[in-house]
Structure 1
Amino acid sequence: MTGPSDAVFNAWSDYAVDAGQRWVLFLDTLRQRGDTQIRMAAEPRAMVLWFDHEVVMSGRALPRPINFALHRILPPANMPADPAKRPVMVIDPRAGQGAGIGGFKQESEIGDALAAGHPVYFIGFSAEPEPGQTFLDVIEGEIAFMERIVEEHPDAPRPAAIGNCQAGYQVLMAAALRPDLFGPCLIVGSPMSYWQGRRGEAAMRYLGGLLGGSWPTALTGDLGNGTFDGAWLVMNFDLLGPANYLWDKQYEVYAHVDEGAERYLAFERWWGDFVLFNAEEIQYLVDNMFVGDRLARGALTARDGTKVDLRALNSPTVILTSTRDHISPPAQTLGWIPDLYRDVEEIRAAGRVIVYAVEDRTGHLGLFVSARVADREDEEFVLTMDAINDLGPGLYEMVITPAVQDGTPAGIEGGPQWAVAFEPRTVDDVRAFGRNTPDENAAFAAVDRISQINLALYRAFVQPLVRAGVNEASAEALRALHPLRLSYTLFSGLNPWTAIPAALAPSIRAHRRPVAADNPFMEAQESLSRTISASIDAWRVMRDQATEDWFFGLYGSAPMQLWFGEGRTRRRRRHAPA
């Protein structure tokens, strides 16, 4: 007979063997992750693009060279492209990681466009910028790429453009400067109106105030010898969700290493592929798009002095956003609409077609990489973009619901069946996602003014000293010592201790003894993990609330407004929410 103590011992024995095996396999997974990051870093032009492709036009050949290139996606034999169909151009975000996330698997924006028979192009980039490359040079380069696509397909409708995250406002800037080139534009998770938000959400918008403006960006670029390390941007994203960054992501791999390691490594191949920016390039982005929020206010100009006016857009514009996106929430992705138009009558009078679709199942990254989004929103944009092009002027919500099952596949390749409706909406419907009060806008305007002052002081008194003490060797050393880069290299094959799990892993995989899910020690492990994650997330909530209170308490205060507020800087107030 066996007693309770025997059952406990057996449960513990089973758990201990499984936990030990999982620990070795987890360490070996981290080794593979680190080795992949080192290989990607050694190939500056490498991309995680899953599809075969060829370079059609290199940005290095432009009058002002850029590190971007236009690629033609080579369709598989079973998915021939119809040259008469509207070409689709996908642009990846250059927000810290390398290119290819818009097509790093079959279920993606590129995959959906190929499956529908469209000629597909992709704008990717290498890890290192061209000398002297600026943000506006990239906009001009994307216009040149679009001109080339139009030349390649003279008899097809104007190309559709899909811009993910940071690439979204680049698409709209290019389309505003050359509206004759662009067909429907899908803008995915792009913070077009960065100041906007709802109290208790979107804590990242307070970062400029927390740091005293954009001078740390200039300092980081100077310490990099004129180069800004994109790993800092990735760390900002990670710190928005510290529970996932510090615990959940790694724990999920450890707890489910048998089935989760491959997926984890595929994603980390992109997430850890850090890219570089010219210091001037990132400074423009931070000053104008984030701290200054100048795009929607019509305060930006092209290199030739042409005003970048989003009112000049005549392409139907589709905005894909998510209520679970804490990096670019709906208030920021849609906020440019009430920035430009008081009501839907103004949109109609301007002849504009604006459509938005709201996700509620996934966060920021899921908008680009989730198979669920690819199977629904991305696919339906591809299937309906000609119908969108024919909509009458106005503001619409793209509402996607399961279609009535009648035995006829409505999706691409017999995929999920969806019914799409374009429901008329008002600008007040957009404001309902979150809108600053005039006083809240005044606080952000004060940050912008203080940022300009602090940046000028830094450039006058500190920058010369920093630059005098920096060279390329010191910049390379600082990049190598970045915490995110170290999290890869310390567990890579460069660390001789990783040879131990590498040697043990094959035998362990061949003799795995996974424990039952109802093992009491496994249940205790899961409970402990949930407690740790919840504790870190509780700290995040307190941190974000304290940051928000501090931000508005300081920059919204009477002295700050007296010296640095909107009246002082003569900035136009945005429309107040209804």
Structure 2
Amino acid sequence: MSDSFQRSNLAQSMKAQRAELEHALTHSPFRAHADRMIEAGARTINVLQIGWTLRVKRSCERVFMLLPELLASGERLAKDLRNLRENGQIGVSWREYIRDASQRTILLMDLLRESGDIFLEHEAAGCPPGLFYKYETIMDGRDLPIKSNFVLLRIIPPQDVTADYSRRRPFVIIPPRAGHTAGVGAHAPDSQVGVVLRQGHPVYLVGFRREPEQDQHLSYVACAEAAFVREVARRHPRAPLPAVVGNCQAGWATLVMAATNPDLTGPIVINGSPVTAVSGNIGDNTFRYIAGIYGGVWIPMFLCDLGKGMFDGANLIHNFELLNPERLFLKYAELFRDVDTARGSFLASEKWWSSFCLLHENEICWILENLFIGNRLGKNKAYLGSERQHVDLKQIRAPIVVFASHGDNVTPPQQALNWITDVYENEEEIRVRGQHIIYMVHNDIGHLGIFVSSKVVNREFRQVATTFEAIEALMPGLYEMCVKDIQEHDGRKTFSVELVERSFKDIRALNDNYRDEFPFDAVHRTSQLQAQIYHTIARPFVRAAVTSFTADASRTVHPERLSRAVISSRNLMLTGLKSMTEQVRRSRAKARVDNPFLLAEALYVQHIAEAIIFWRDLRDMIYELLFHSMWNTPFQRYFGSPYEVIPRQMTPEELRSRPDVQFALKMIATGGFIEALIRMMALLVSDRGGIRRDRLDRWSSVLTQNEPFRSVPSDRLTAITRQQTIIATLEREQAIETLPLLLDESEERRRAYLVACYIPGPIAEMSPSTIDLLLRFAQVLQQPPITADVTENPLAEMEAE
């Protein structure tokens, strides 16, 4: 009766229907989806606002920072010109400058002509490696079952350098195949090759010919590099496993080779390598937006079709130079200024920089789809050989040293390091897997300077090269290598090296919360669709229209090649330039250093460079705003969501459930002197959060020079170190309490405790936590605590006795 009455009451019925409608709208899937779309749109607006603000702020700060300097230079120039006018010397100074500038112009043109001749000769010779050192060919990729255009070269040491080929660790240096020919890292005495040679190590270099083999894939390159490293290890049976150094693009290629051959190499060094090429920060790192602005992989496919299946590496060099156009201008402006002294260094660098290699379509498409667009390698989802072989970076067993720089806008630290946090769940997984990852971040060096600059090579790379044995003795984990300059009393400069234990928070602190990487999933998916459409509709007609002649002609007229060929001896307009240059050298008259017109020239160059920088910043800002307007919309976010990978933190229970972890924890009360001492060192390193170089050297000496460690194979020591690190990480208290079970005899306990006190060094340099842990060791091992420094190796003393 009451229900009928309520239905007949119109006001109450309308109120109930309104409540039901509001509830349906509030809790409907459409409303939830609309809220998510609105939230995503708000994030996009926030990204655009942040990017605009940061770039405008940076440009304004640069202008206001340089404005006083420019004004001061202008005032000084005006003052000098007034003084010259008052003294009646302005005409003399002008004629002096004009003569100097005219002579420098002739010398510069002749230097460019000579560079053009070297370029043409190098191209005609097939672009052999541009190396400073003599070399011999050890292996050729064409002789392998899976053919490639890579070759293994042995660097012949100079007469004043002696390399130990019997016991010293060999180095295999892989230069980048990023458009130019092989040579970077070995084109000067103060290079990576020079540093390693002077330390007495055998050095090998992986070079490559200009043209790849027919149907060459990246898997062929990985097989060739693995065969080369095996050959180097075979040639040095008494030495440790070869160290492999990969620069730029060769860095991620080295990781691919090591992941597919996990027991092959010694330590790996990757310098400025874009393993996670889509990473970066808002308001910076514009290079990663190019694929989304200009299109996906279909454009390189089109260029490969125009090149008869070959991609011209000159395109990569062209893009690199356009990234910082002011550097290209300053390169020739500074060459014009220092033309009398810069000849040797300019020609040496141009030899390897201006000779361009080719890549097969299979190679460039794999690189783009797995790194620069798809980011598959950084997500640990890349495959080799037509999806047959998974490139699992977690399978790498060799220590990995990563070098990056904040001044590198080609491979910023985010692109060099984010793969660590994307591949591994957390730093504990790195320790549990027995992996060593050490990274360094320079403050301001540029991309090429990471592996070309003599300053970096003689400082950071030298420290890395001399720390390999100690790094292999280090407890597994994630570390940052900190190199500090120390000025000695006698004026010499030395370096202090410390390996500081880091967490994923430290790497993520270099990022702006990954809030601008999601659009690249939509770019990847769109790129695949565009490539399929091009392959189906346009490719047959393009391939039918291209011949070998047109492919060669298109490469010949490329701006990077044409600009060098035009300024060469083949240009009839430059006939007589060489003889004119000889006359100029005989009658060379430099302008005085205090000539004000030289200051005017420098001021003019600086103004032009700043104008180019302003145009570059404006271009980069437009790129970023356009990219996020196109690809960071709610619809594109939804379109790319199938490719989105959301990282999940591994729980402690999941970590413990791993079979290798379970086995290690079951062995907590099993072992002897070796296991006990390695466990104590793992506890000390974990407690301090890092280890200094001198302490690491002492520990490395104990492992390699003293019994009972000296007789244990290195792979066995590695397995024990991994096992004891797991125990010390997951069961710290029980690991300490069970130490007496590993050391039955009182003499063993005394020796183990003395070695544990010897490794940290003087007591005055120990942290309070280290002292407390050593006291805890003394308590559980029933040993008297030490009160004086243990300055001599206890194991060495006992062997002497």
Q: TM-score, normalized by length of structure 2?
A: 0.69
Call closer, same or farther: CA 1:435–1:196 in 2, change over 3 Å. Answer: farther
In structure 2, distance between residues paired with 1:166 and 1:205: 15
In structure 2, distance between residues paired with 1:465 and 1:204: 32
> Is the Cα contact below 8 Å between 1:64 and 1:133 reproduced in 2?
no
Unmatched segments (≥5 aa) in structure 1 = 410-415
Deviation at 1:78, TM superposition (A): 3.2
> Is the Cα contact below 8 Å between 1:331 and 1:435 reproduced in 2?
no
In structure 1, distance between residues paired with 2:556 and 2:426: 51
| Aligned equivalent of 2:252 | 169
Larger Rg: 2
1:272-324 C-alpha deviation (Å, 9 max, x unpaired): 01111112221111121111111021211232823111111111110111111
- Match for 2:528 among 429, 439, 452? 452
**Secondary structure of the structure 1 residue equivalent to 2:246:** strand
| Aligned equivalent of 2:265 | 182
| Aligned equivalent of 1:573 | 646
Instruction: Spell out the pairing of 1:388-403 with structure 2 (5 A cutoff).
Output: 388-403=471-486
In structure 2, distance between residues paired with 1:3 and 1:491: 40
In structure 1, distance between residues paired with 2:627 and 2:551: 32
* 2:185 alignment partner AA: G
Instruction: Spell out the pairing of 1:544-555 with structure 2 (5 A cutoff).
Output: 544-555=620-631
* 1:523 alignment partner AA: L
The alignment status of 1:429 with 2:506, answered yes or no, reads yes
Call closer, same or farther: CA 1:502–1:574 in 2, change over 3 Å. Answer: farther
Q: Which has the higher helix share?
A: 2
- Match for 1:55 among 132, 137, 156? 137
Deviation at 1:343, TM superposition (A): 3.1
Instruction: Spell out the pairing of 1:502-521 with structure 2 (5 A cutoff).
Output: 502-521=578-597
* 1:358 alignment partner AA: V
> Is the Cα contact below 8 Å between 1:356 and 1:396 reproduced in 2?
yes
The alignment status of 1:321 with 2:404, answered yes or no, reads yes
In structure 1, distance between residues paired with 2:474 and 2:284: 33
Instruction: Spell out the pairing of 1:104-253 with structure 2 (5 A cutoff).
Output: 104-245=187-328, 247-253=329-335
The alignment status of 1:469 with 2:545, answered yes or no, reads yes
In structure 1, distance between residues paired with 2:172 and 2:449: 20
Deviation at 1:79, TM superposition (A): 2.4
In structure 2, distance between residues paired with 1:23 and 1:392: 59
In structure 1, distance between residues paired with 2:85 and 2:501: 69
1:400-448 C-alpha deviation (Å, 9 max, x unpaired): 1123526698xxxxxx53221112222111112225535x222000000
| Aligned equivalent of 1:383 | 466
* 1:532 alignment partner AA: I
1:168-219 C-alpha deviation (Å, 9 max, x unpaired): 0111111111111111111011001111101122111001101121111001
Bigger Cα displacement from structure 2, 299-308 vs 490-499: 299-308
> Is the Cα contact below 8 Å between 1:116 and 1:382 reproduced in 2?
no
- Percent identity, aligned pairs only, is 37
1:522-572 C-alpha deviation (Å, 9 max, x unpaired): 21111111111000101111111111111111101122223x222xx2432
Call closer, same or farther: CA 1:369–1:424 in 2, change over 3 Å. Answer: same
**Secondary structure of the structure 1 residue equivalent to 2:311:** strand
In structure 1, distance between residues paired with 2:402 and 2:435: 14
Bigger Cα displacement from structure 2, 174-183 vs 445-454: 174-183
| Aligned equivalent of 2:603 | 527
* 2:94 alignment partner AA: W
1:443-466 C-alpha deviation (Å, 9 max, x unpaired): 000000000001111111111111
> Is the Cα contact below 8 Å between 1:108 and 1:378 reproduced in 2?
no
In structure 1, distance between residues paired with 2:440 and 2:358: 32
Unmatched segments (≥5 aa) in structure 2 = 1-83, 650-801
In structure 1, distance between residues paired with 2:139 and 2:305: 32
**Secondary structure of the structure 1 residue equivalent to 2:402:** strand
* 1:150 alignment partner AA: A
Q: TM-score, normalized by length of structure 1?
A: 0.94
**Secondary structure of the structure 1 residue equivalent to 2:440:** strand
1:337-360 C-alpha deviation (Å, 9 max, x unpaired): 111234322221222111111222
In structure 1, distance between residues paired with 2:513 and 2:557: 39
Higher-RCO chain (CA-CA 8 Å, sequence separation at least 6): 1
Call closer, same or farther: CA 1:3–1:467 in 2, change over 3 Å. Answer: closer
**Secondary structure of the structure 1 residue equivalent to 2:341:** helix
- Runs of 4+, deviation exceeding 6 Å: none
Bigger Cα displacement from structure 2, 392-401 vs 416-425: 416-425
> Is the Cα contact below 8 Å between 1:335 and 1:435 reproduced in 2?
no
In structure 2, distance between residues paired with 1:168 and 1:478: 30
**Secondary structure of the structure 2 residue equivalent to 1:146:** helix
| Aligned equivalent of 2:123 | 41
* 2:531 alignment partner AA: L
> Is the Cα contact below 8 Å between 1:66 and 1:137 reproduced in 2?
yes
In structure 1, distance between residues paired with 2:528 and 2:466: 46
* 1:437 alignment partner AA: Y
* 1:520 alignment partner AA: P
In structure 2, distance between residues paired with 1:200 and 1:496: 48
Deviation at 1:56, TM superposition (A): 1.2
* 2:646 alignment partner AA: R
In structure 2, distance between residues paired with 1:75 and 1:132: 36
> Is the Cα contact below 8 Å between 2:380 and 2:423 reproduced in 1?
no
> Is the Cα contact below 8 Å between 1:25 and 1:501 reproduced in 2?
no
**Secondary structure of the structure 2 residue equivalent to 1:71:** strand
1:89-138 C-alpha deviation (Å, 9 max, x unpaired): 10010000001212111111111111111121111111111111111110
Deviation at 1:500, TM superposition (A): 3.6
> Is the Cα contact below 8 Å between 1:231 and 1:274 reproduced in 2?
yes
* 1:427 alignment partner AA: F
| Aligned equivalent of 1:561 | 637
Instruction: Spell out the pairing of 1:342-361 with structure 2 (5 A cutoff).
Output: 342-361=425-444
The alignment status of 1:302 with 2:384, answered yes or no, reads yes
* 2:465 alignment partner AA: V
The alignment status of 1:31 with 2:113, answered yes or no, reads yes
The alignment status of 1:536 with 2:589, answered yes or no, reads no
In structure 2, distance between residues paired with 1:148 and 1:92: 18
The alignment status of 1:419 with 2:496, answered yes or no, reads yes
The alignment status of 1:254 with 2:336, answered yes or no, reads yes
In structure 1, distance between residues paired with 2:509 and 2:572: 56
Bigger Cα displacement from structure 2, 342-351 vs 56-65: 342-351
1:143-178 C-alpha deviation (Å, 9 max, x unpaired): 111111121122221111000000001111111111
Instruction: Spell out the pairing of 1:267-282 with structure 2 (5 A cutoff).
Output: 267-282=349-364
Deviation at 1:64, TM superposition (A): 1.6
- Match for 1:443 among 516, 519, 533? 519
